Structure 1
Amino acid sequence: MAVLTAITPIEYLKGVGPQKADVLKKELQIFTIGDLLQLYPFRYVDRTQFFKIRQLDATLLGAQVLGRLIRLQEVGEKRAKRLVGLLKDETGTVELVWFQQIAWLKKTLQLNAVYVMYGKPTSFNGAISITHPEMELYQSSEKKIGNQTLQPVYTSTEKLKKFNLDTKGLQKLVAQALETVLPNWEDDLPADLRQKHHLIPAREAVLGIHFPTDQKAYETASRRLKFDELFWLQLRLLRNKQLNTKKYRGHRFTQVGDHFNTFFNTRLPFPLTGAQKRVMKEIRIDTNTGAQMNRLVQGDVGSGKTVVALMAMLLAIDNGFQACMMAPTEILATQHYHGVKELLGEDLCQVALLTGSTSTKERRRIHEQLEDGSLNILIGTHALIEDKVKFKNIGFVVIDEQHRFGVEQRAKLWRKNTIPPHMLVMTATPIPRTLAMTMYGDLDISAIDELPAGRKPIKTVHFFENQRLRAFGFMREEIQKGRQIYIVYPLIKESEKLDLLHLEAGLESLMREFPLPNYRISVVHGKMPVKDKNFEMQRFVKGETQIMVATTVIEVGVNVPNASVMIIENSERFGLSQLHQLRGRVGRGAEQSFCILMSSNKLSKDGRKRLETMVETNDGFKIAEVDLQLRGPGDISGTQQSGILEMKIANLSTDQALLTEVRETVIDIFLQDPELQLPEHQSLLQKLTHKGPAIAWDKIS
């Protein structure tokens, strides 16, 4: 008889079979016995204590009762329909109520049978009841599953329950799996590593996470499994970074020449902040190693990332190379182009703009100058990655708002030279440190965490709908001072038409409050033709309109120093990151700027927390940490990048200290044994090899 292991297909586990295996695969992505054992409980129920019915109290978080089901009847009609039961013990009765699965419960529950019931007691009109309790038929002769202390509760679905794969059914399968494979379970972590970090053996951890004997057993099991998950992730990422450093040679920038020095000494309009100097030094070191640079620079809107990128591009030019900067939208690319031209002046180097709107004649000129080397810096959109765009000697690439580009789009820029150019990717959405160590764990990460001197923090306030007249009055005052105002409406994904109606309704309200011709209004939304959108934005940029009413198309790419007020309608519908981005559209001039968050009177707990956070701080890194806690890593990154954030047990918002400990451990391993050739590291190398080829995270950047 074949020995079952963690990689054995789930259908071969006793008690599963083809039908249950099929539903486990579809509903929970459980394909092997190991996958089942990684279906960790999402909570535990303490089943050691039984309450008498007269002891039940609404202050209890949960209570277990042993009693007889003496009544079961369906009450009400349509939406008010519910199933009501009455459970009795020697001290009294308690009402049980179900609003869902009524037909199934009526067939399953047995009148006059004794049940173990568990649920949250609530009080209504002085009477205690329990809604949607867990019911388990009491069998005094039956052997208990697991232990008598903490009972695991697993994720289940309606389809799974049809195959008796509710929590109890899954408990039985997990217990069977543990009995089957645990005796042969191998520990992948070296013994000295386990000892150093006070980690229990893997076998003990797997058993302890599913059926812990007490709270301490759960905590030690949880810590070991979290350590494992983070350890293998960091080992793969840092191993991949090491391999890429060896594999990809980089252009060596040895000279700091006239272009860089002239700009730094005579054209730089303001002194660099300490953070800008630090990041520039890191880039300088990277580009002189002979290995290709892959660095992520993150910093708030207005922190000076573009100036750092420009100085790095000038460094490339001083060493005989060309540089380019790619932005996700034509508006942002054009803004970068004009900003760079203004900083450089007309004589320092040749700069061009290439977008979808560039004329055929201008494109031809740009292509010729790129190929003969007379064009030093090319700024543009996706047009830069077209095959017909050929550089004479591209050595440095800057990608702005990196998360808006696909992997292959970015990789195309690599192939513009025989030796890949150095890559600097930038984001104005600060990333929490823990998320950066996982999403971008094999990139070098820099943070520009200082704003230029003299920049006034934006004042943020939260107004409810009933304070709208106050907001209108403030708008009028600011316009009379000669300032300009943004009013942004949310995108409601379910209905693009509703977006426009929502925006138009707001526009009508504005027309009543600000009747023309006293004030002029620009209107911008995503359904407009690009030409019309640009026209409206330019009117606002030139000061021809005082108010811009827009959807979130202005989140990135509009720079109007005279705009001093950002009003965000229905702000509770936005995520923290987006609110912070929108707020960053103001506060770019010398005057005090304001952000007004308008919301309905009814707010969810998370919605209230988001708005309170915005009012309390302008620090994008603090905001990103709160966003991570509220939304989770998958949402905050915009996409689950190739499964890297689909963690089974570790939590990036609560396990920060452990992640830091793990990463330092992995760094120490590679410093001690770069090739993982020592005997104690053979198991690590073997598992890495069996995991398949490492993912090219540097190309995902």
Structure 2
Amino acid sequence: MNSELELGLERRIGKRSAAVIDKHLGITTVGGLLDYFPRRYLSRGELTPISEVPLDEDVTLIARVVSNSTRPMRARRGSLTDVVISDDAATASSRTTGAGLPGTLKVSFFNGFRARAELQPGRRAMFSGKVTRYGGSLGLTNPDFLLLDEDPDTPGMDPEKLAAMPIPVYPATAKLTSWSIQKVIATLLDTVDLATLGDPLPAGITAREQFLSVSDAYRLIHVPQVPADWQRARDRFRYQEALVLQTALARRRAQLAAEEATARRPAADGLLAAFDRQLPFTLTAGQSAVGKTLSEELARDSPMNRLLQGEVGSGKTIVALRAMLQVVDAGGQAALLAPTEVLAAQHFDSIRRTLGPLSRDGLLGGLGPDSVQVTLLTGSMPTAARKQAMLDAASGTAGIVIGTHALLSENVSFYDLGLIVVDEQHRFGVEQRDALRAKASKPPHLLVMTATPIPRTVAMTVFGDLETSILDELPAGRAPITTHVVGLAEHPAWATRIWSRSREEIDAGHQVYVVCPKIGTDDDGDFSPGEAEPSAADLDEGNGARELASVTGVLEHLRDEPALAGVPVAPLHGRQDPVLKSETMASFTANQTKVLVSTTVIEVGVDVHNATLMVILDADRFGISQLHQLRGRVGRGGLPGTCLLVTTLEPGHPSRRRLDAVAATTDGFELSQEDLKLRREGDILGASQSGGRSTLKLLRVLEHEDTIARARQDAQQIVAADPALADQPGLAAAIDEYLNPEKEAFLERG
């Protein structure tokens, strides 16, 4: 570990500043703050194009004050100061915005005494806040601002040099502005001993790439004198990030390859052969090819570590079941880890149903070569049933054990665990995979499955320790799904049409899913009376906070909806008792319940062939991969499926881009590329920030494929020559700091 980077912040910037940084950014060490890089850089000499300001996002922009006026508020005591700012782009072609003039924006301050005094016409300032819409126009409310006409931090500097200095813009919070963060980091750079920092990059790579030193890179990324400074520093840190990540994965791959597993060779005439003989359909070419690969890898004495990705309904479960049967034939057990109890129960039922007479319930005695016991183990099972399931797993009576996180608990053991199948990998971390691996006497084989398609660059970055197989064709019988965006802002009458359309499906003998973003109707969108925030009336806005659709609210509405009179409707969500959840799903599967009003608990694994319509309310609140997964619940039984993405957002809202993308294609790989383009900085790996610097900062997997590929090649050479990284202490220390080994949280998502 590098002692300077591990130092507590209070040792370098004082207790008071350190406490502020800890409270608002959760950063406590010197290294953590040094690695808090600017999001982007602004030029002091240029005004920000207001036409490019995004709605519903936090922005930092430079603009000139056009006018300043103050008036008393109508709905409460106090005053409202309205400031109109401009980017000076007053051309007829500019987009009309907040103040009704080209290239202008209205900024409102509640009791803004400082704004009234300082933001006088003609002054240039930097503003930081969230862009919202009021009365059809864009605006900022109570933003922080900094006057730029004279810079107190750079007294006496040559005006031309000052104008050329880029302004770093940091990811800020509501209570801590970008320029406040900048001042604290400037203090840190003056007090920290940068010369003592170890370099994670091998000297040969630094020389080959002509990278800056670590100390120069830290200084220039935070305090650049000219744009080329931060660009060179960013290039160095971006490559360093790629190399640390790829070396960690290469080291893990090498460790896994060196382990000795029990070979599970196929039997000439065992369960798998009997299963294949009774299959009522022919495997697709893709299923056969992947099955052959798995069979060969299971037969080796080094552990298989493979990622199987394929579209919703591409037949991954059959491929996984055939692999499990090969392991059972060879005397081992297989465990299937599912993220929810609903999905675990679905797998349990469908696998036993698929096995038919080859499945044994464990009540008829003797172990025979012609059947396998399939056992379910979840946390909510009755104590007696759970104890029996644990006994069956520990004794080897159960050949296939299906369960949730309950499988990971310390008191669950296996007789001879030969294969772990992890379903929906993005719900599990590496540490959970490893917890299950530790239950085997020898390292078991591992098959990770995901229905969220992953671009090659993401797979290379996130699942670098796994080999990848893809199922990209759908089995026969899968019908096409048509997706429509239902924009209620422009077509309010469509709100009732949704339910008459649902009735048409029900009258045709089919069923409907209705998905909501939340469970209850409790409104969390309004300000409480004690908060100093302007009301809608004060800001001349006609609409209050948007109430999101909830399971309880929609259920109540549908029971009174004329179009659905007499139709059995039921709710399903995560807070329900597990027994009630199971009964509700059984009722829907049996076509007794016609409309299921649910949260995203039905996102994965739920398989009801008679459901043909999916209505997703407030669809803009879901991500692209979630919408794609939800949509995959319909069209599963050979009947054409329809998905309605319902939104109250106006057509120009950026969140509607996601909906348009989902409606435009059912190609999951194409959608995953679009998903990454639309996601914000740092969100790609969905990593937790707690306890370590464990998310991507400068690396973007789609934009920087060449950097990742180059770093991957370097990492493989480094690990091949020095597996323990004994000659690379700086790189080894950086891996420990970057990955936060307790969690390795950055590896959790695809």
Calculate the TM-score normalised by the size of structure 2: 0.75
1:308 CA displacement = 1.4
SS at the partner of 2:550? helix
Q: Which residue of 2 aligns with 1:125?
A: none
Q: Could you say if the C-alpha distance between residues 379 and 110 of structure 1 is closer, same or farther in structure 2, counting changes exceeding 3 Å?
A: closer
Is 1:571 aligned to residue 619 of structure 2?
yes
Select the residue among 599, 606, 609 that pairs with 2:647: 599
Q: Could you say if the C-alpha distance between residues 630 and 508 of structure 1 is closer, same or farther in structure 2, counting changes exceeding 3 Å?
A: same
1:484 CA displacement = 2.3
1:322 CA displacement = 1.8
Q: Could you say if the C-alpha distance between residues 193 and 281 of structure 1 is closer, same or farther in structure 2, counting changes exceeding 3 Å?
A: farther
| Maintained 8 Å contact 1:152/1:171 | no
Q: Could you say if the C-alpha distance between residues 116 and 340 of structure 1 is closer, same or farther in structure 2, counting changes exceeding 3 Å?
A: closer
Q: Which residue of 2 aligns with 1:648?
A: 697
Q: Could you say if the C-alpha distance between residues 57 and 188 of structure 1 is closer, same or farther in structure 2, counting changes exceeding 3 Å?
A: closer
Q: Which residue of 1 aligns with 2:277?
A: 266
SS at the partner of 2:230? helix
1:105-135: CA deviation from partner (whole Å, max 9, x where unpaired):
36995999x9764579x9xxxxxx9997631
Q: Which residue of 1 aligns with 2:709?
A: 660
Select the residue among 10, 23, 26 that pairs with 1:26: 23
| Maintained 8 Å contact 2:552/2:571 | no
Give, in whole Å, the separation in 2 of the partners of 1:479 and 1:101.
52
Q: Which residue of 2 aligns with 1:251?
A: 262
Is 1:81 aligned to residue 80 of structure 2?
yes
| Maintained 8 Å contact 1:524/1:548 | yes
Q: Which residue of 1 aligns with 2:563?
A: 513
For structure 2, which runs of at least 5 residues remain unmatched after alignment? 54-60, 87-102, 132-138, 359-369, 525-548
| Maintained 8 Å contact 1:258/1:318 | no
Give, in whole Å, the separation in 2 of the partners of 1:158 and 1:592.
47
Matches within 5 A, 1:67-216: 75-77=71-73, 78=77, 81-82=80-81, 99-100=108-109, 105=114, 109=118, 117=125, 134-136=146-148, 138=150, 142-143=156-157, 148-155=163-170, 166=180, 169-170=183-184, 172-173=186-187, 176=190, 181=193, 187-197=199-209, 199-216=211-228
Is 1:547 aligned to residue 570 of structure 2?
no
Select the residue among 287, 300, 304 that pairs with 1:293: 304
SS at the partner of 2:263? coil
Matches within 5 A, 1:201-240: 201-240=213-252
Structure with the larger helix share: 1
SS at the partner of 1:302? coil
1:71-125: CA deviation from partner (whole Å, max 9, x where unpaired):
98854345751276999xxxxxx9998644866736995999x9764579x9xxx
1:283-302: CA deviation from partner (whole Å, max 9, x where unpaired):
33443443333433332221
Could you tell which deviates more after superposition, 410-419 or 337-346?
410-419
One-letter identity of the residue aligned with 2:563: E
Q: Which residue of 2 aligns with 1:484?
A: 511
1:9-33: CA deviation from partner (whole Å, max 9, x where unpaired):
54455xx433233323433445455
Q: Which residue of 2 aligns with 1:423?
A: 446
Percent identity of equivalent pairs: 32
Select the residue among 333, 341, 352 that pairs with 2:352: 341
Q: Could you say if the C-alpha distance between residues 603 and 263 of structure 1 is closer, same or farther in structure 2, counting changes exceeding 3 Å?
A: farther
Is 1:305 aligned to residue 316 of structure 2?
yes
Q: Which residue of 2 aligns with 1:456?
A: 479
Is 1:352 aligned to residue 367 of structure 2?
no
Give, in whole Å, the separation in 1 of the partners of 2:14 and 2:389.
65
| Maintained 8 Å contact 2:551/2:571 | no
Larger Cα-atom Rg: 1
Q: Which residue of 1 aligns with 2:295?
A: 284
Q: Which residue of 2 aligns with 1:669?
A: 718
1:475-508: CA deviation from partner (whole Å, max 9, x where unpaired):
3443343322222233157839983442223323
Is 1:502 aligned to residue 566 of structure 2?
no
Provide the aligned length of Structure 1 versus Structure 2: 664
Q: Which residue of 1 aligns with 2:34?
A: 37
| Maintained 8 Å contact 2:44/2:167 | no
One-letter identity of the residue aligned with 2:80: K
1:497-537: CA deviation from partner (whole Å, max 9, x where unpaired):
98344222332354x11322xx4444434444333333332
SS at the partner of 2:38? coil
1:306 CA displacement = 0.7
Give, in whole Å, the separation in 1 of the partners of 2:33 and 2:392.
60
| Maintained 8 Å contact 1:40/1:209 | yes
One-letter identity of the residue aligned with 1:166: S
1:260-303: CA deviation from partner (whole Å, max 9, x where unpaired):
65146413343333443443344334434433334333322211
| Maintained 8 Å contact 2:686/2:748 | no
Is 1:317 aligned to residue 328 of structure 2?
yes
Give, in whole Å, the separation in 2 of the partners of 1:689 and 1:133.
39
Q: Which residue of 2 aligns with 1:440?
A: 463
Q: Could you say if the C-alpha distance between residues 269 and 23 of structure 1 is closer, same or farther in structure 2, counting changes exceeding 3 Å?
A: same
RMSD: 4.5
1:305 CA displacement = 1.3
SS at the partner of 2:270? helix
Give, in whole Å, the separation in 2 of the partners of 1:132 and 1:661.
42
Matches within 5 A, 1:681-700: 684-685=731-732, 694=741
Q: Could you say if the C-alpha distance between residues 418 and 508 of structure 1 is closer, same or farther in structure 2, counting changes exceeding 3 Å?
A: same
SS at the partner of 1:81? strand
Give, in whole Å, the separation in 1 of the partners of 2:570 and 2:78.
47
Give, in whole Å, the separation in 1 of the partners of 2:478 and 2:702.
31
1:675-694: CA deviation from partner (whole Å, max 9, x where unpaired):
546x6x56545755788995
1:623-660: CA deviation from partner (whole Å, max 9, x where unpaired):
23333333448656665276565233333454344323
For structure 1, which runs of at least 5 residues remain unmatched after alignment? 88-93, 123-128
Give, in whole Å, the separation in 1 of the partners of 2:473 and 2:85.
64
